[in-house]
Copies of this chain bind each other. A is one copy, B any other.
Amino acid sequence: MYINETHVRVRYGESDRMGYAYYGNYPLYYEVGRTEMLRTLGLSYKEMEDSGIILPVINLQSNYLAPAFYDDLLTVKTYLRELPAVRIRFEYEIYNSKGEKLNYGETTLVFTNAVSRKPCRPPEYFMQRVRAFFK
């Protein structure tokens, strides 16, 4: 298993009429979580795309336990619990600065050839970085 923590601050434009971070922003926060996780592994999502592999999301689940508010500094904990194959699944937990768990969820993405738009195996350099955490 590999775990990473990163932070996002709720922007005014992400708040809604209830004063809450709009529920539709959590996929963005999850994106930040998984991108920063990969970066700590020395893996750049952007470079992978530039090399011809894209990672569209095929499943998203999100559970909202308590609201995040404007200007809250959130901790996004991202978990990689299984060795990726054609699919890669990330789990997330979001906490506010008091340590309250506000949200948890997951996304499943598919390694996809950018030209053929067909599913493919993850690049070997990707697997090498990740395998170290699944022994």
Binding site for B on A (CB under 8 A): 9, 11-13, 15-20, 22-28, 31-32, 35, 44-46, 49, 54, 56-65, 67, 70-71, 105, 107, 114
Contacts and interface: CB of A to CB of B under 8 A. Distances in A.
A17 B12 contact: yes
B67 A59 contact: no
A56 B44 CA distance: 26
Nearest to A18: B54
B70 A17 contact: yes
The secondary-structure label for the interface of chain A is mixed
B56 A20 contact: yes
A24 B23 contact: no
Contact of A31 (B11, B45, B59): B11
A13 to B, nearest CB: 5
Contacts of A28: 11, 13, 24
Contacts of A19: 17
Given A44-B71, A56-B20, A11 B32 contact: yes
B49 A17 contact: yes
Q: State the 7 A-B residue pairs at the shortest beta-carbon distance, nearest first.
A: A24-B27, A46-B71, A23-B57, A15-B17, A60-B62, A13-B22, A13-B24
